[in-house]
Chains A and B, each alone.
Chain A
Amino acid sequence: MVWYVGRRLLQMVPVFFGATLLIYAMVFLLPGDPIRALFGERPPPPGVLEQIRAEYNLDKPFIVQYLLYVKGILTLDFGTAFTGRPVVELMANAFPVTIRLALIALAVEAVFGIGFGLIAGLRRGGFFDATVLIVSLIVIAIPIFVIGFVAQFVIGLKLELLPATVGQEESWRQLLLPGIVLGATSFAYVLRLTRNSVADNLSADHVRTATAKGLSRPRVVSVHVLRNSLIPVVTFLGTDLGALMAGAIVTEGIFNVNGVGGTLYQAVIRGQGTTVVSFVTVLVMVYLLASLLVDLLYAVLDPRIRYA
């Protein structure tokens, strides 16, 4: 087990270098000159351009730039953005709020997705099942920005149930609505996955055997149906965590959240290489860790899986 985790962590090293190199190259190849763009319409004073280029190592060949960058990361120096703020500071601002947002979304998915999915699966073919299936299909079909704006308008502005936007303090209450919107699509997937998984497991031979033992229905469902059904759901939730972190750009935009998505978007628009590469690298790492967590959790749920 320890050996397995060690090996998985070790595997992250090449992924890290591959990902950073690839992203670095892509940013490098972006059209336009970010330094010149800093000055807008007016031509920069002579010499200044070169000075800035030298400061940010932009005058050196690509591979040297990359190696200097990696050297920086290894000493936890993610470099400085063009605004003069260190990238680490940007991350410290953006990540906590996005992590909170992702956790809210994940909680919504897990609690409501699994809950409704379980009920629908147990009453397959019934009214609840049909309703929930149609609603989940609608949620999947509607683009997230539509859901976002509608929720903001109806719940936030008309009914005033929850704050419509996120302010400076970024409280949990303010993050609740964007969190729900962010988790909406995945909630629908989790619901359907749970529903099908429960319905399948319900007709499994071992469930019938459990009933034949004289167990009560609630016990059969919780002990023999639910745990078995959760195996594929947990896999989905784990991989979704990574997607929630990186994919919140639209939702963050609607609700005015200064998170990872927004910062990354701005950096891409402005061609801020160091910021983009740093953020994406961290996201890749989060994704890898999340999938490792899923695999470990998988082994806990299913004793047939053993890592050696």
Chain B
Amino acid sequence: MSHAVPAGSDRPGWVQRTDRDDTQPLLDVRDLHVTFRSNGRDVPAVQGASLTVYPGQTVAVVGESGSGKSTSAMAVMGLLPGTGRVTSGQILFEGKDIARAGQREMMALRGKSIGLVPQDPMSNLNPVWTIGYQVREALIANGVASGAAAKRRAAELLEEAGLADAERRTKQYPHEFSGGMRQRTLIAIGLAARPRLLIADEPTSALDVTVQRQILDHLDGLTRELGTAVLLITHDLGLAAERAEHIVVMYKGRVAESGPALEVLQDPQHPYTKRLVQAAPSLSSRRITSAVRSEVLERAERAAEEAHARVEAADGVHAPVADTGHDVIRVENLTKVFTLRGSGVRGEQLKAVDDVSFSVRRGTTMAIVGESGSGKSTVAQMVLNLLPITSGRVLFDGVDLTKLDKRQRFDFRRRVQPIFQNPYGSLDPTYSIYRSIEEPLRVHKVGDAKSREARVRDLLDKVSLPTSTMRRFPNELSGGQRQRVAIARALALQPEVLVCDEAVSALDVLVQAQILTLLNDLQAQLGLSYLFITHDLGVVRQIADDVCVMQKGRLVEAATTDEVFANPRQAYTRQLLDAIPGGSIALGA
């Protein structure tokens, strides 16, 4: 990769410290066990975790959801949710065991000695109090300042956390802030009383990559300046390797591996870590391939012909076809203007998508990348014919979508299917998996009950789910399994195009890698074309043939994936690439 720089060179003061036996650890967690009580049974969440943080050191705890990484961190603060409790083990903070400390003792430590930067900036500030009030509160509670001094100090802290015009901003409410600004506020609160240890629980996972980078850089600088030790909880191995000196990999409540960051990354010992390193999208540099591309393309052409034959057999007429060659979808000068409600009689106009043109070649994957608000999802909705187009046009197989009559639109739905981001939300919780997958078949009156059941079995097989899944309900499945069901449902009608809107963003890295491989295999088998909407360039690298980069509604760069990664022409694209966490770290293997 052209943007790669020697490992660690962008971090001044990077010292690899492996042997710190000479100093007393700030935090020493020994053989920690945490259980939750559920339905009268004890369910273990952490089973013997140990980790050590030295003063001023940054230690990252990496793992997927459910690995116990957040639970361990919350146990350190005495903030286990619900029925959670520490059953055995020690949490030594400055040599003193606080695993079973009382509320009063913990209250004295919280804020003053151990600060917290929580995960989701949207839900972690109280919506009914001003920003200034919430920062001030931390100062007053820990006896740092009070009265007018606290007011002044709050503004200083916000300024220090990188919030411009802080004094005026203290009078604003959280809903008037963007996600990045809120996270800066939370950092200011976490560091308000100058704690010796800062627990940062996925501090940036809810933010756009470029914002993420700014915030992490800032946090890095601040904690180094103040000499604060950081316990960084993250699911992103690349991010951990880039930010921490020491990495602890957790898996199913246990520590799978721990050691100096680069060592863990470049020479992983535990099989789980190995898989994690392989799957990390931010680190991988290659498109997943499972078949010869030309064969895939050929298969796609054949699938298209079959579809045509089917339509003609059904309609008896040939739809007017503009010659679009190998392009299954062609988008021309697409524009979408939303009229915002509120001030003024006519309302404000928002150009969400501004003159966007691209095309998707049959049998290939086109990715649209951009940050939130870039208009990429709006494009997807217009391609899916779910949102009226303001101007421009979308051609599917040479036919203008706006010119479709009711019958043709029904047919279009059959040939282009969506997969959405949230597998928790896109499946009806009251439908069995069988019913969810069968529904599109029933709606389109495909086959009889018996042949439909056979088809559902076949589809489940295609997405590598056991047939027994049919009788189950969405709440009984994991996120990855649900997304497989969503894919099976999308494939039910043998579509030619799948529009995946952030289809893997809500999944853990390993599951994400599995789903991407599955999508890739299906593309090869069935000759599918994908329009892939994502904010994650790592994912793009793994699945896409072509990339469109969108920024504020405009298409800023479009090229093949290799070109974009090797030779980004726009400053914005380069910024996005640089923001991939761990992108600069060379892998040993």
Contact = CB atoms under 8 A, between A and B. Distances in A.
A210 B124 CA distance: 9
Given A209-B118, A214-B111, A224 B82 contact: no
Interface in A192-217: 203-217
B110 A209 contact: no
Given A213-B189, A308-B342, A203 B81 contact: yes
A214 B142 contact: yes
A227 B128 CA distance: 8
B125 A209 contact: yes
Interface residues of B, number: 36
Contacts of A219: 141
Nearest to B122: A205
B419 interface: no
Contact of B124 (A206, A217, A304): A206
A214 B138 contact: yes
Given A209-B186, A214-B141, A302 B128 contact: yes
A43 interface: no
B137 interface: yes
B23 interface: no
Given A212-B77, A212-B116, A205 B123 contact: yes
B343 interface: yes
Interface string A125-167: 0000000000000000000000000000000000000000000
Interface in A171-206: 203-206
B127 A209 contact: no
B127 A302 contact: yes
Contacts of B408: none
Contact of B137 (A203, A205, A215, A227): A215
A210 B126 CA distance: 9
Contacts of A217: 103, 107
A228 interface: yes
B538 interface: no
Interface in A209-239: 209-217, 219, 223-224, 227-228
Contacts of B141: 213-216, 219
* Residue of A207, A214, A227, A308 with most partner-chain B CB within 10 A: A214
Contacts of B137: 210, 213, 215, 223
Main secondary structure on chain B at its contact with chain A?
loop
Nearest to A217: B103
A303 B189 contact: no
A206 to B, nearest CB: 4
Nearest to A301: B128
A213 B144 CA distance: 12
Contacts of B193: 214
A302 B126 CA distance: 10
B115 interface: yes
Contacts of B82: 203
A113 B190 CA distance: 36
Contact of A224 (B118, B126, B175): B126
Contact of B128 (A208, A210, A303): A303
Contacts of B125: 206, 209
B120 interface: yes
Given A206-B125, A209-B116, A214 B107 contact: yes
B505 to A, nearest CB: 20
A26 B79 CA distance: 62
B186 A303 contact: no
Contacts of B79: 208, 211-212
Main secondary structure on chain A at its contact with chain B?
helix
B168 to A, nearest CB: 16
Contacts of A228: 126-128
B484 interface: no
Contacts of A215: 107, 111, 137-138, 141
Interface in B80-115: 81-82, 103, 107-112, 115
A228 B115 CA distance: 24
B173 interface: yes
Contacts of A224: 126, 129
A51 to B, nearest CB: 57
Contacts of B192: 213
Nearest to A205: B123
Given A214-B107, A214-B193, A217-B103, A209 B124 contact: yes
A308 B126 contact: no
A213 B111 contact: yes
Nearest to A211: B79
Contacts of A205: 118, 120, 123-124
* Residue of A203, A204, A210 with most partner-chain B CB within 10 A: A210
Contacts of B127: 206, 228, 302-304
Contacts of A206: 123-127
Nearest to B343: A308
Interface in B261-309: none
A219 B137 CA distance: 10
Contacts of B111: 212-215
Contacts of A308: 342-343
B233 to A, nearest CB: 14
A234 B132 CA distance: 26
Contacts of B126: 206-207, 210, 224, 228
Contacts of A223: 129, 137
* Residue of A204, A211, A223, A301 with most partner-chain B CB within 10 A: A211
A225 B107 CA distance: 18
B171 to A, nearest CB: 11
A216 B109 CA distance: 12
Contacts of A213: 110-111, 137-138, 141-142, 189, 192
Nearest to B78: A211
B390 to A, nearest CB: 27
Interface string B165-199: 00000000101000000000010011011000000
Contacts of A210: 126, 137
A208 B116 CA distance: 10
A129 to B, nearest CB: 16
Interface in A283-308: 301-304, 308
Nearest to B77: A212
Nearest to B109: A214
A213 B125 CA distance: 12
* Residue of B79, B112, B125, B127 with most partner-chain A CB within 10 A: B127
Given A205-B120, A209-B189, A213-B137, 11 more contacts: A203-B81, A206-B124, A209-B125, A211-B110, A212-B111, A212-B118, A213-B110, A215-B107, A219-B141, A303-B127, A304-B127
18 contacts: A206-B123, A206-B124, A209-B116, A209-B118, A212-B110, A212-B115, A212-B118, A213-B111, A214-B109, A214-B112, A214-B141, A215-B138, A215-B141, A223-B137, A228-B127, A301-B128, A302-B127, A304-B127
Going nearest first, the 8 A-B pairs with the smallest beta carbon separation are A214-B111, A212-B116, A205-B123, A213-B138, A214-B110, A206-B126, A303-B173, A213-B111
